[in-house]
Amino acid sequence: MNMKSNDNVRNIAIIAHVDHGKTTLVDAMFRQSGLFREGQEVDERLMDSMDLEKERGITIAAKNCSINWKGVKINILDTPGHSDFGGEVERALSMVDGVILLVDASEGPLPQTRFVLDKALQSKLPVIVVLNKIDRPDARPAEVLDEVYSLLIDLDADDEQLECPVLYAIGKDGVVMKTPEERGLNLDILMDTILEAVPGPQYDESKPFQMLVSDLSYSDYLGRLAIGKVINGSVKAKESLSCVKEGGRIVPLKVSKIQVYNGTVLADAENVETGDIVVLSGIDDVNIGDTICHSEKPEALPRLSVDEPTVFMKFTKNTSPLSGLEGKNVQATKIYERLVKETLLNVSMQVERSENQDDFIVKGRGEFQMAILIETMRREGFELSVGRPQVIYKDVDGQRMEPIENLAIDCAEEYSGAVTEKLLKRKGRLSAMTYEQSGRVKIEFSVPSRSLIGYRDEFLTDTRGTGIMNSLFAGYEKYRGDFITRNTGSLVADRTGKAIPYALFNLEPRGKLFVLPGDDVYEGMIIGEYNKEGDLNVNACKAKNLTNVRASGKDDAVTLTPVIPMTLEQGLQFIAEDEMLEVTPTKIRLRKAVLSAQDRKVLGKRK
């Protein structure tokens, strides 16, 4: 093999935990590389372009962009920090030659940093450590650096990876220093370190053009876009290309356009060189992991492998009496088409049809990833019903195996007892406990994935909103046994109509209500949480009997306890296995899977 490196290009990924400042740092790199002219108004966190990302302050989809520094093009991939979006991370790492590990100088490396870093070390990528937010009053850079080294050793980093450059940063001010005591002026040190520590992409001179498809996108003007790194050779626009699919099947391709990243936008390119990250448009039949190459010499590259899904949910069309009143996309075929489009763009999701033509099984990495998909769909005008997230079990040698998570909890010492008790009830196992000087405790558990469905809100309540909880998929283990997830029942409406204040006032002693006076209700809709186990059918439309007897105080207006509208995530965590969530662009309602009280009774007897 005749290996060479292209020194005109550097490909790096920025990896970090949620909220450690990745996207803010990339914005600062843009500003410094001269991408924006003086005085140009630019959105903060320019890379988080989806509305959902802006609202939640998180990165959901990995984004690509580029800057130029000292004549070298640096392609930057901003990866998500949530493990639910791990499929995005694996794809990003297949395109880069080095990573920047960004760690909060106060919080230190958290579990999901571990997830991405492990993937990077396995790929033998060089690491640049950047301790961010060192201006925080509770910053502890020396201790955090020790934690980073411990983590690298723990993940079997080799000597070269352990001798990584360490820099200190204040991302929001756009400054990087070599020591925490210095006062930085700009990001020059970081840019220079990238050129020194990250090698140019390696290629084999003797090989023809080969590009690995690592990501897919879609443009309303250009159709399907294939994104990937040119591994060997070069290509010009309008050349005849082929795609090597799974199993070695070769399909001829017509490429209408070749584009490269120039800042955050795509620019047309006549020809591209080895190592650059390119976007090919006009290709219909292409999947993640395929190899695109010259028609004369088709040769496949090793395919991308992605961790399999651990959670599934049932998606179906909205079958409630209110169907079609609030959304414009209500047909099962439209829902299926949208889910298939999602799997084309998101390699860690799968969709299958079930026996019933209108029901679809969507598999993914976690309930959060599913919630983001549902939220995106409702904003696009879809109406649908979804079931409770459930874990995917495996059968190995006749034994039932379930997915297990490593869970790290950081909370005040006074709440640790309640947290530990709840997790032990949910079949968790305590693996480590560390007491901090600040009066907080770090606890590590091994818990079944199903234990965490619906637990997050309970955890925040138990720790008065001060606890931090992070989980990481750890593999499959033998089924640990059943446990009760909810010891309350549901208040179920027994007829269709409008909720009436008088009826709701009389139902308040029965439990916590979810509906407001004037809301539409229908038979089988869940209008509240029952105080006791089991379900209670109630009449939320019952009006007060009017008589001609008048007495002082008899006709006083009723005062109802305020109702906080349920969020999508809360709804997914609340529903039981025989319940569903009705999601429309304007409302989230809870309902029974079987709406008729009579049919539910018959089903109950059969069971």
Give dist(CA 494, CA 540) in Å, integer.
8
CA angle 244, 247, 249 (to 5 degrees): 45
Question: Cβ atoms within 10 A of the Cβ of 301, count?
Answer: 20
Is 134 annotated in a binding site? The answer is yes
Which of 354, 263, 245, 348 has its CA nearest to residue 306?
348
Give dist(CA 569, CA 202) in Å, integer.
44
Is 133 annotated in a binding site? The answer is yes
Query: 345 — phi, psi (to 5°)?
Result: -95, -20
Q: What is the DSSP letter of 203?
A: E
Which of 507, 506, 502 has its CA nearest to residue 555?
502
Give dist(CA 606, CA 599) in Å, integer.
11
Helix (H/G/I), strand (E/B), else coil: 235: strand
Whether 306 and 90 have beta carbons less than 8 Å apart is answered as yes
C-alpha dist (Å) from residue 282 to 234, 275, 341: 19, 22, 16
CA angle 483, 435, 101 (to 5 degrees): 90
Is 395 annotated in a binding site? The answer is no
Which of 132, 127, 131 has its CA nearest to residue 194?
127
Helix (H/G/I), strand (E/B), else coil: 424: helix
Query: 52 — phi, psi (to 5°)?
Result: -60, -35
Whether 89 and 116 have beta carbons less than 8 Å apart is answered as yes
Cα radius of gyration (the chain):
27
Is 294 annotated in a binding site? The answer is no
Is 22 annotated in a binding site? The answer is yes
Is 575 annotated in a binding site? The answer is no
Whether 56 and 289 have beta carbons less than 8 Å apart is answered as no
Give dist(CA 217, CA 227) in Å, integer.
7
Q: Which H or E run includes 192?
A: helix 188-197
Is 275 annotated in a binding site? The answer is no
Bridge-based pairing of strands 9-16 and 98-104 is parallel
Tokens representing 339 are 């889910």
Tokens representing 579 are 């319940």
b/e per residue 313-325 (b: at least 16 CB within 10 A): bbbbbbebebbee
Is 512 annotated in a binding site? The answer is no
SS (H, E, C) 120-185: HHHCCCCEEEEEECCCCCCCCHHHHHHHHHHHHHHCCCCHHHHCCCEEEEEHHHCEEECCCCCCCC
Is 200 annotated in a binding site? The answer is no
What is 508-556 written as a DSSP string? Answer: GGGEEE---TT-EE-TTEEEEEESSSS-EEE-TTPPPPP-S---TTTTP
Euclidean distance between the first and the last CA atom of the chain, given in angstroms as a whole number: 66
Is 24 annotated in a binding site? The answer is yes
Tokens representing 176 are 């990087």
Helix (H/G/I), strand (E/B), else coil: 565: coil
Q: Which residues are annotated as a binding site?
A: 19-24, 132-135
Residues making up the annotated binding site for GTP are 19-24, 132-135
